[in-house]
Amino acid sequence: MMNIDDLQELAANRRSIRGYDKTRDIPDEMVRKILDCARWAPSGGNGQPWEFIVIRDEKTRYEIADLFLKQQEHKKEMELAVRGDAKMTGDGFRHAPVHLIVLGDPRVKETYPVRTMLDKADSHFYTGLASATLLIHLAATSLGLASQYVSDASSPYMETMLKVLLGVPEPLKVYHLIPLGYASKPIPARPRRELDEMTHYERYDMAKYRDDREFQKFVMTASRRGYYGKRTWVEDDTNQPTDPKEAP
Ligand SMILES: Cc1cc2nc3c(=O)[nH]c(=O)nc-3n(C[C@H](O)[C@H](O)[C@H](O)COP(=O)(O)O)c2cc1C
Protein backbone atom coordinates (compact mmCIF):
# COMPACT_ATOMS: atom_id res chain seq x y z
CA MET A 1 0.00 0.00 0.00
CA MET A 2 1.27 3.47 -0.91
CA ASN A 3 2.20 5.62 2.11
CA ILE A 4 0.97 9.15 2.79
CA ASP A 5 4.25 10.78 1.71
CA ASP A 6 4.08 9.01 -1.65
CA LEU A 7 0.46 10.08 -2.05
CA GLN A 8 1.26 13.68 -1.10
CA GLU A 9 4.15 13.70 -3.60
CA LEU A 10 1.92 12.25 -6.31
CA ALA A 11 -0.76 14.90 -5.67
CA ALA A 12 1.80 17.72 -5.64
CA ASN A 13 3.55 16.52 -8.80
CA ARG A 14 0.50 16.33 -11.04
CA ARG A 15 0.38 19.21 -13.51
CA SER A 16 -1.94 20.34 -16.24
CA ILE A 17 0.35 19.90 -19.23
CA ARG A 18 -0.56 21.77 -22.39
CA GLY A 19 2.37 20.84 -24.61
CA TYR A 20 3.23 17.25 -25.62
CA ASP A 21 6.28 15.53 -27.12
CA LYS A 22 4.98 14.20 -30.45
CA THR A 23 7.94 11.80 -30.81
CA ARG A 24 7.09 9.71 -27.71
CA ASP A 25 4.31 7.14 -27.71
CA ILE A 26 2.90 5.36 -24.68
CA PRO A 27 2.17 1.62 -24.51
CA ASP A 28 -1.36 0.21 -24.40
CA GLU A 29 -0.54 -1.47 -21.11
CA MET A 30 -0.06 1.93 -19.44
CA VAL A 31 -3.38 3.16 -20.75
CA ARG A 32 -5.13 0.05 -19.47
CA LYS A 33 -3.56 0.44 -16.02
CA ILE A 34 -4.64 4.07 -15.86
CA LEU A 35 -8.23 3.18 -16.75
CA ASP A 36 -8.18 0.29 -14.31
CA CYS A 37 -7.39 2.81 -11.54
CA ALA A 38 -10.23 5.05 -12.71
CA ARG A 39 -12.86 2.32 -12.48
CA TRP A 40 -12.18 2.07 -8.72
CA ALA A 41 -13.41 5.62 -8.20
CA PRO A 42 -16.28 6.09 -5.75
CA SER A 43 -19.65 7.10 -7.22
CA GLY A 44 -23.12 7.93 -5.91
CA GLY A 45 -25.11 4.70 -5.53
CA ASN A 46 -22.08 2.90 -7.00
CA GLY A 47 -23.63 3.92 -10.29
CA GLN A 48 -20.21 4.06 -12.01
CA PRO A 49 -21.33 6.62 -14.58
CA TRP A 50 -18.07 6.52 -16.59
CA GLU A 51 -17.11 4.96 -19.90
CA PHE A 52 -13.93 5.70 -21.79
CA ILE A 53 -12.93 6.03 -25.43
CA VAL A 54 -9.22 5.57 -26.17
CA ILE A 55 -8.15 7.36 -29.34
CA ARG A 56 -4.75 6.88 -30.93
CA ASP A 57 -5.55 7.55 -34.58
CA GLU A 58 -3.73 10.75 -35.57
CA LYS A 59 -6.39 11.89 -38.03
CA THR A 60 -9.08 11.61 -35.35
CA ARG A 61 -6.91 13.38 -32.76
CA TYR A 62 -6.32 16.24 -35.17
CA GLU A 63 -10.05 16.46 -35.94
CA ILE A 64 -10.71 16.67 -32.22
CA ALA A 65 -8.13 19.43 -31.81
CA ASP A 66 -9.69 21.31 -34.73
CA LEU A 67 -13.12 21.11 -33.07
CA PHE A 68 -11.51 22.42 -29.91
CA LEU A 69 -10.04 25.41 -31.77
CA LYS A 70 -13.38 26.17 -33.34
CA GLN A 71 -15.24 26.25 -30.04
CA GLN A 72 -12.42 28.36 -28.57
CA GLU A 73 -13.35 31.16 -31.00
CA HIS A 74 -16.66 31.79 -29.22
CA LYS A 75 -15.08 31.40 -25.84
CA LYS A 76 -12.41 33.95 -26.68
CA GLU A 77 -14.91 36.38 -28.14
CA MET A 78 -16.98 36.18 -24.94
CA GLU A 79 -13.91 36.73 -22.74
CA LEU A 80 -12.87 39.75 -24.74
CA ALA A 81 -16.38 41.20 -24.77
CA VAL A 82 -16.93 40.83 -21.04
CA ARG A 83 -13.44 41.15 -19.57
CA GLY A 84 -11.36 42.75 -22.29
CA ASP A 85 -8.68 40.11 -21.84
CA ALA A 86 -8.49 36.57 -23.14
CA LYS A 87 -5.62 34.23 -22.33
CA MET A 88 -6.77 30.97 -23.90
CA THR A 89 -5.33 27.47 -23.79
CA GLY A 90 -4.14 26.21 -27.15
CA ASP A 91 -4.38 22.97 -29.08
CA GLY A 92 -0.95 21.59 -28.06
CA PHE A 93 -2.73 18.45 -26.89
CA ARG A 94 -3.24 17.36 -30.50
CA HIS A 95 0.31 15.93 -30.30
CA ALA A 96 -0.42 13.75 -27.27
CA PRO A 97 -0.34 10.15 -28.61
CA VAL A 98 -3.51 9.19 -26.75
CA HIS A 99 -6.75 11.07 -26.28
CA LEU A 100 -9.09 9.68 -23.64
CA ILE A 101 -12.69 10.75 -23.73
CA VAL A 102 -14.53 10.32 -20.44
CA LEU A 103 -18.22 9.74 -21.08
CA GLY A 104 -21.02 9.77 -18.52
CA ASP A 105 -24.22 7.75 -18.64
CA PRO A 106 -26.92 9.80 -16.89
CA ARG A 107 -29.16 6.73 -16.57
CA VAL A 108 -27.08 5.81 -13.50
CA LYS A 109 -29.17 8.37 -11.63
CA GLU A 110 -31.63 5.49 -11.17
CA THR A 111 -29.15 4.00 -8.68
CA TYR A 112 -29.66 6.99 -6.36
CA PRO A 113 -32.22 7.11 -3.55
CA VAL A 114 -35.46 8.89 -4.48
CA ARG A 115 -34.66 12.06 -2.54
CA THR A 116 -31.16 12.21 -4.02
CA MET A 117 -32.73 11.92 -7.49
CA LEU A 118 -34.80 14.99 -6.67
CA ASP A 119 -32.20 17.24 -5.13
CA LYS A 120 -28.70 16.14 -6.12
CA ALA A 121 -28.87 13.87 -9.15
CA ASP A 122 -26.70 16.07 -11.37
CA SER A 123 -24.21 16.82 -8.64
CA HIS A 124 -23.77 13.12 -7.80
CA PHE A 125 -23.45 12.23 -11.47
CA TYR A 126 -20.70 14.78 -12.09
CA THR A 127 -18.91 14.06 -8.81
CA GLY A 128 -18.57 10.41 -9.89
CA LEU A 129 -17.15 11.48 -13.24
CA ALA A 130 -14.80 13.96 -11.57
CA SER A 131 -13.54 11.29 -9.18
CA ALA A 132 -12.72 8.86 -11.98
CA THR A 133 -11.12 11.68 -13.94
CA LEU A 134 -8.88 12.70 -11.05
CA LEU A 135 -7.74 9.09 -10.68
CA ILE A 136 -6.81 9.08 -14.37
CA HIS A 137 -4.65 12.17 -13.89
CA LEU A 138 -3.00 10.78 -10.75
CA ALA A 139 -2.40 7.38 -12.34
CA ALA A 140 -0.83 9.09 -15.36
CA THR A 141 1.42 11.15 -13.06
CA SER A 142 2.51 8.00 -11.22
CA LEU A 143 3.70 6.60 -14.58
CA GLY A 144 5.66 9.75 -15.41
CA LEU A 145 3.08 10.78 -18.00
CA ALA A 146 1.60 14.18 -18.70
CA SER A 147 -2.12 14.84 -18.84
CA GLN A 148 -4.55 17.71 -19.14
CA TYR A 149 -8.16 18.51 -18.38
CA VAL A 150 -9.90 19.57 -21.57
CA SER A 151 -13.30 20.35 -20.13
CA ASP A 152 -14.26 22.33 -23.22
CA ALA A 153 -14.99 18.91 -24.73
CA SER A 154 -18.39 19.14 -23.02
CA SER A 155 -19.29 22.58 -24.37
CA PRO A 156 -22.45 22.26 -26.52
CA TYR A 157 -20.72 22.57 -29.90
CA MET A 158 -17.78 20.32 -29.11
CA GLU A 159 -19.84 17.67 -27.35
CA THR A 160 -22.29 17.49 -30.25
CA MET A 161 -19.54 17.24 -32.84
CA LEU A 162 -17.53 14.72 -30.81
CA LYS A 163 -20.56 12.50 -30.40
CA VAL A 164 -21.04 12.41 -34.17
CA LEU A 165 -17.32 11.93 -34.87
CA LEU A 166 -16.96 9.09 -32.35
CA GLY A 167 -20.42 7.51 -32.72
CA VAL A 168 -21.42 8.10 -29.09
CA PRO A 169 -25.07 7.09 -28.58
CA GLU A 170 -27.77 8.93 -26.65
CA PRO A 171 -28.18 9.52 -23.76
CA LEU A 172 -24.43 9.44 -23.02
CA LYS A 173 -22.71 12.73 -22.23
CA VAL A 174 -19.18 13.80 -23.08
CA TYR A 175 -17.55 14.83 -19.82
CA HIS A 176 -13.85 15.58 -20.41
CA LEU A 177 -11.12 14.96 -22.91
CA ILE A 178 -7.84 13.87 -21.32
CA PRO A 179 -4.74 13.87 -23.51
CA LEU A 180 -2.01 11.49 -22.35
CA GLY A 181 1.64 11.56 -23.36
CA TYR A 182 4.98 13.01 -22.35
CA ALA A 183 5.40 16.70 -21.57
CA SER A 184 7.36 18.67 -24.16
CA LYS A 185 8.94 20.60 -21.27
CA PRO A 186 8.75 20.54 -17.47
CA ILE A 187 6.19 22.88 -15.92
CA PRO A 188 6.56 24.41 -12.44
CA ALA A 189 3.81 23.89 -9.88
CA ARG A 190 0.95 26.36 -10.08
CA PRO A 191 0.27 28.40 -6.95
CA ARG A 192 -1.79 26.89 -4.14
CA ARG A 193 -3.24 28.66 -1.14
CA GLU A 194 -1.51 27.89 2.14
CA LEU A 195 -3.05 25.05 4.13
CA ASP A 196 -3.53 27.19 7.24
CA GLU A 197 -5.41 29.83 5.26
CA MET A 198 -8.11 27.37 4.29
CA THR A 199 -8.36 25.13 7.34
CA HIS A 200 -10.64 25.92 10.25
CA TYR A 201 -10.76 24.02 13.51
CA GLU A 202 -14.00 23.25 15.33
CA ARG A 203 -15.81 26.25 13.80
CA TYR A 204 -15.30 28.77 11.02
CA ASP A 205 -12.51 31.19 11.93
CA MET A 206 -13.68 34.59 10.67
CA ALA A 207 -10.10 35.88 10.87
CA LYS A 208 -9.51 33.68 7.81
CA TYR A 209 -12.54 34.88 5.90
CA ARG A 210 -11.53 36.58 2.65
CA ASP A 211 -13.39 39.82 2.06
CA ASP A 212 -14.38 40.72 -1.50
CA ARG A 213 -11.20 42.70 -2.13
CA GLU A 214 -8.91 39.91 -0.90
CA PHE A 215 -10.91 37.46 -2.95
CA GLN A 216 -10.59 39.61 -6.06
CA LYS A 217 -6.86 39.83 -5.46
CA PHE A 218 -6.69 36.04 -5.33
CA VAL A 219 -8.61 35.71 -8.62
CA MET A 220 -6.46 38.29 -10.37
CA THR A 221 -3.11 36.97 -9.17
CA ALA A 222 -2.95 33.33 -8.05
CA SER A 223 -5.61 31.78 -10.29
CA ARG A 224 -5.29 30.99 -13.96
CA ARG A 225 -6.90 34.36 -14.74
CA GLY A 226 -4.05 35.82 -12.72
CA TYR A 227 -1.61 33.95 -14.97
CA TYR A 228 -0.68 31.68 -12.06
CA GLY A 229 0.91 34.47 -10.02
CA LYS A 230 2.54 36.32 -12.92
CA ARG A 231 -0.05 39.09 -13.08
CA THR A 232 0.67 42.13 -10.93
CA TRP A 233 -1.91 43.44 -8.49
CA VAL A 234 -2.26 47.18 -8.13
CA GLU A 235 -3.71 48.37 -4.83
CA ASP A 236 -6.13 50.79 -6.44
CA ASP A 237 -9.25 50.58 -8.51
CA THR A 238 -7.50 49.86 -11.80
CA ASN A 239 -7.75 46.12 -11.17
CA GLN A 240 -10.50 44.10 -12.80
CA PRO A 241 -13.84 45.11 -11.27
CA THR A 242 -16.17 42.39 -10.01
CA ASP A 243 -19.02 43.55 -12.22
CA PRO A 244 -18.26 42.26 -15.75
CA LYS A 245 -20.25 45.18 -17.19
CA GLU A 246 -17.56 47.52 -15.87
CA ALA A 247 -14.71 45.50 -17.31
CA PRO A 248 -12.33 47.43 -19.57
C1 LIG B 1 -13.14 20.88 -13.71
C2 LIG B 1 -11.85 21.32 -14.34
C3 LIG B 1 -11.87 21.85 -15.62
C4 LIG B 1 -10.68 22.24 -16.24
N5 LIG B 1 -10.71 22.63 -17.54
C6 LIG B 1 -9.55 22.85 -18.20
C7 LIG B 1 -9.54 23.06 -19.60
O8 LIG B 1 -10.58 23.04 -20.28
N9 LIG B 1 -8.35 23.26 -20.20
C10 LIG B 1 -7.17 23.24 -19.50
O11 LIG B 1 -6.11 23.40 -20.11
N12 LIG B 1 -7.15 23.04 -18.16
C13 LIG B 1 -8.31 22.83 -17.50
N14 LIG B 1 -8.30 22.56 -16.16
C15 LIG B 1 -7.03 22.56 -15.44
C16 LIG B 1 -6.89 23.74 -14.49
O17 LIG B 1 -6.72 24.94 -15.21
C18 LIG B 1 -5.70 23.46 -13.57
O19 LIG B 1 -5.96 22.30 -12.81
C20 LIG B 1 -5.38 24.59 -12.62
O21 LIG B 1 -5.08 25.76 -13.34
C22 LIG B 1 -4.21 24.25 -11.70
O23 LIG B 1 -3.07 23.86 -12.46
P24 LIG B 1 -2.44 22.41 -12.25
O25 LIG B 1 -3.47 21.40 -12.68
O26 LIG B 1 -1.21 22.36 -13.11
O27 LIG B 1 -2.12 22.27 -10.80
C28 LIG B 1 -9.47 22.16 -15.53
C29 LIG B 1 -9.44 21.61 -14.24
C30 LIG B 1 -10.62 21.17 -13.66
C31 LIG B 1 -10.56 20.51 -12.30
What CATH number should be reported for the domain whose range is 4-181? 3.40.109.10
Closest CA to 16 of 102, 138, 153: 138
Residue 241 reports pLDDT greater than 50: no
Atom of ligand 1 nearest to the CA of 89: 11
- Closest by CA to 153, choosing from 137, 138, 168, 132, is 168
Mean pLDDT of 110-138: 98
Question: Ligand 1 pocket test: which of 13, 88, 151, 193 has the largest number of ligand atoms within 8 Å of its C-beta?
Answer: 151
b/e sequence 199-235, b meaning 16+ C-beta within 10 Å = eeeeeeeeeeeeeeeeebbbebbbeebbeeeebeeee
Query: How many angstroms is it from 142 CA to the middle of ligand 1?
Result: 18
What pLDDT shows up at residue 229?
86
Whole-structure pTM over 0.85, yes or no? yes
Which region among 50-54, 236-240, 243-247 has the lowest average model confidence (pLDDT)?
243-247
Structure confidence at residue 237 (pLDDT): 56
Average pLDDT over residues 224-240: 78
The model's pLDDT over 159-208, given as tens digits with 9 standing for 90+, comes to 999 999 999 999 999 999 999 999 999 999 999 999 999 999 999 999 99
Regarding the beta carbon of 225 and ligand 1, being less than 6 Å apart is answered no
The pLDDT tens digits of the residues spanning 7-41 come to 999 999 999 999 999 999 999 999 999 999 999 99
Query: How confident is the model at residue 248, as a pLDDT?
Result: 33
* pLDDT of 247 higher than 50: no
* Domain ranges within the chain, ordered by starting residue: 4-181, 195-246
160 CB within 6 A, ligand 1: no
pLDDT at 232: 84
Cα 16 to middle of ligand 1, angstroms: 6
How many angstroms separate the CA atoms of 207 and 205, rounded?
Answer: 5
pLDDT: is 140 or 239 the higher one?
Answer: 140
pLDDT digits (tens, 9 = 90+) for 50-101: 999 999 999 999 999 999 999 999 999 999 999 998 889 999 999 999 999 9
Residue from 75, 126, 149 to probe ligand 1 pocket by mutation (most atoms less than 8 Å from CB): 149
Angle between helix 28-38 and 121-142 (nearest 10): 140
159 within ligand 1 shell (Cβ under 6 A): no
Distance 149 CA to ligand 1 centre (A): 5
